[in-house]
Structure 1
Amino acid sequence: MLESLTLTNFKAFAHQELRLAPFTLLTGLNSSGKSSVLQSLALLRQSYESGDLAPVGSREPGLLLNDELVQLGTGRDVRHESYDEAGPHIALAVRGDGVKAQWTARYEQEADHLKLFQNGKGGENRSGLSRDPIALLPTLFGPGFQYLKADRVSPQVSYPRSHHAVTTRGFLGAHGEHTVNYLRINQDEPVVGKRLRISDAHPVGLLGQTQAWMQKLCPGVNLKAEDIADTDTVRLSYSFGSGALGSNSYRPTNVGFGLTYVLPIVVACLSARPGTLILLENPEAHLHPQGQTWMAYLASAAAASGAQIIMETHSDHVLNGLRLRVKQGTLHSDDTAVHYFRRKELTSEVVNPVIGPDGRLSEWPEGFFDEWENSLDQLLD
């Protein structure tokens, strides 16, 4: 499991260390650095998968800023505003899985491949590049990694069918575009974590449990994922009810936007294995409040089953769902971390409210999910 992340001169942060837990919740004002935390981990994963983090032969190791997971631009787009050539370089450090690894990159204004210092030249680099990164940090670089962005795939008539993405990599796509094909291929695979099996009335396979969780968001909904013959695409359809009272099948384009938008989140959590890392941006998007609370229940169950969840959210319903699961004993309070981000001059600062065993928070900083209280005060004035 990853235990901490330290960012130096990276985007919104001059220097910031964050504690990571089995379930880490990132919240705060817009443009305060929440997404930068997820992007830093995705950047390391992306650079590893492209062969840039630990290259073979004469290639120089570096951070690849633009590829499948993140598109961050050039050096000047990721450099913190107060960066000084004489000061610390851009650095990402991760502690966990029994090691501490740090990658220190040379700033180049127009480059989208930032070269890494090695052997202490120009800045310490303790990444152990001579070793297999998977052996160093299996949580970050091993199989099962998922990163689902806020701009997930929308309802469509068909979705891509990629054998490599689903079967070889087990990847849902950064936008969830491979989710339907993943569900089609793995629909009978049993969901591993018992806490993730929401109902014994449903089959223990991925499709059955996906339907069970989706029915918490939309009662009575059923799913079907199938290939389209002689094409490189697959089809998703929804129906409602069962038996004589069952409806016809509907295309995703004729069903509420929120169902298709949340489907990748549900599949990612249900298919997670112990020791895998899931990065989630705004999973509550397009969900009604009850659905947002159940989204927190689902992510809590995945964390309790051994996966590591790092989630960015703007929803107090998600926060309260996590607090309830702590109080109910699904997660230990020590297995949670809450970070509230806010801008302070040229950098971002982070406040860390702690969830106690009773689900209560140690503090409520100004601006931390207090809008309802502020509005209520005005209504009662």
Structure 2
Amino acid sequence: MITRLTLVNFKAFRRLELAMGPLTLLTGLNSSGKSSVLQSLALLLQSFGRGRAASPEEGLMLNGELVELGTARDLLHDDFGPADDLLVTDAPLVGVVVEAGGTGRFIARYDLDEPDEDAMEAYDFPGGWSLLDVPFQYLHADRITPAVTYPRTRQIALGPGFLGVRGEHTVNYLRHHAEHEVPDGPLRHSAATSPQLLDQTVAWMQELCPGVNLNASAVEGTDFVRLSYGFGGTAGINATRRRRPTNVGFGLTYALPIVVACLTATPESLILLENPEAHLHPKGQSRMAALIAAAAATGAQLIVETHSDHVLNGVRIAVKQEALRPEDAVIHFFRGNGSGAEVITPRVDKDGMLAQWPEGFFDEWENSLDQLLD
């Protein structure tokens, strides 16, 4: 499990050191560097992770399956400085240091003669490879939207189990692994009809939309699968009629990859999530936080970018209810300071309260209320 992440000359950061826990929330203003933290790990996984490049000679691959960061010019911090603690050289360097029991240092050299290349010469120090040899999921904020069909890729579904950065392989994965059992523990929903993955997925989706159920099936003779929803007679909808996602709305389909990613997490898993609250109502956002906390409690590591106070409060409630230890919830608040990004880390107490509440940290409700009452 990653305990600390250090970025050097990486995008918005001249130098950034972040403590990490089983559940790390990245919050704060837009364009303050939160996504860069997720992208740095995705970049390493894309370049050197399981089943990817065999050696540092392959280079740091800036554009690929997980992230598209542009060119070396886009990656190097504008006000870059020396990084002699990583590698003594006159050339500008970009560094990502991952601490997880051991220390993995991944260093890329910026070639002044080739600033527009989408690969950078890379160096690594012993210990780095094992830190990246983990099962992982990375789900972008731009996830799958309601559609009539989704890809049917057997290799993806039966191989590494990667759902795709947009969750595009979720429906096919769920179809293949519907009978896989969710282990007994925090993730297993007590209201589900069985411990099988499909029934557990339905139970957690019902936390977001009461009465919903789903079905994943192949479209015969094609390379596609179909997702359909039923609603158990709720909200005046006929219980016997299946609904295609395009007639249901964004929220359920947007949330489905996150639910499946969490339910299939193992104690070795690394899950990177962008905006899990997107298109969900406030209660659904809180329940999504409960699911994320449950995945962390099983031993998986989740790093989550969020703009939702409901997600934040859902994590705090999980701590208060002892579903998650206080030290296992790490919260970082990013804000601009005029010359870069400043990061503040409020501590979560065992009662779910925060040791400090920085200005600008989820305080818009109070600010709006003050204006209404003025």
TM-score (norm 1): 0.91
CA deviation vs aligned residue, 1:82-133 (integer Å, no higher than 9, x gap): 014758621000000x21010111113111111014xxxxxxx42447xxx2
> Does residue 100 of structure 1 match 2:103?
yes
Distance change in 2, residues 1:87/1:111 (3 Å): closer
Q: Do the aligned partners of 2:92 and 2:110 also contact (CA within 8 Å) in 1?
A: no
Q: Do the aligned partners of 2:191 and 2:203 also contact (CA within 8 Å) in 1?
A: no
Matches within 5 A, 1:1-381: 1-49=1-49, 54-55=54-55, 60-84=57-81, 86=90, 89-96=93-100, 98-108=101-111, 109-117=115-123, 125-128=124-127, 133=129, 136-137=130-131, 140-143=132-135, 145-241=136-232, 246-381=239-374
Distance change in 2, residues 1:369/1:285 (3 Å): same
User: How far apart are the structure 2 equivalents of 1:78 and 1:151?
Assistant: 21
Q: What amino acid is aligned across from residue 333 of structure 1 in structure 2?
A: P
Distance change in 2, residues 1:182/1:60 (3 Å): same
Q: Do the aligned partners of 2:192 and 2:202 also contact (CA within 8 Å) in 1?
A: no
Q: What amino acid is aligned across from residue 66 of structure 1 in structure 2?
A: N
Distance change in 2, residues 1:206/1:46 (3 Å): same
* Consecutive aligned runs of 4 or more in structure 1 exceeding 3 Å deviation: 49-54, 84-88, 242-245
- Secondary structure at the aligned position of 1:16 is classed as strand
CA deviation vs aligned residue, 1:225-273 (integer Å, no higher than 9, x gap): 0111111110000011179972300100000210000000000000111
Q: Do the aligned partners of 1:157 and 1:252 also contact (CA within 8 Å) in 2?
A: yes
Q: Do the aligned partners of 1:69 and 1:147 also contact (CA within 8 Å) in 2?
A: yes
- Count matched residues: 362
User: How far apart are the structure 1 equivalents of 2:49 and 2:266?
Assistant: 20
Q: What amino acid is aligned across from residue 214 of structure 1 in structure 2?
A: M
Residue 52 of structure 1: how far off its partner (Å): 6.8
Distance change in 2, residues 1:372/1:87 (3 Å): farther
User: How far apart are the structure 2 equivalents of 1:209 and 1:380?
Assistant: 45
- Secondary structure at the aligned position of 1:204 is classed as coil
In angstroms, what is the RMSD of aligned CA positions? 1.9
Q: What amino acid is aligned across from residue 40 of structure 1 in structure 2?
A: S
Identity, in percent, stands at: 57
User: How far apart are the structure 2 equivalents of 1:158 and 1:52?
Assistant: 29
Look up the match of 1:121: none
Q: What amino acid is aligned across from residue 267 of structure 1 in structure 2?
A: V
Q: Name structure 1 gaps, 5 residues minimum.
A: 118-124
User: How far apart are the structure 2 equivalents of 1:88 and 1:160?
Assistant: 42
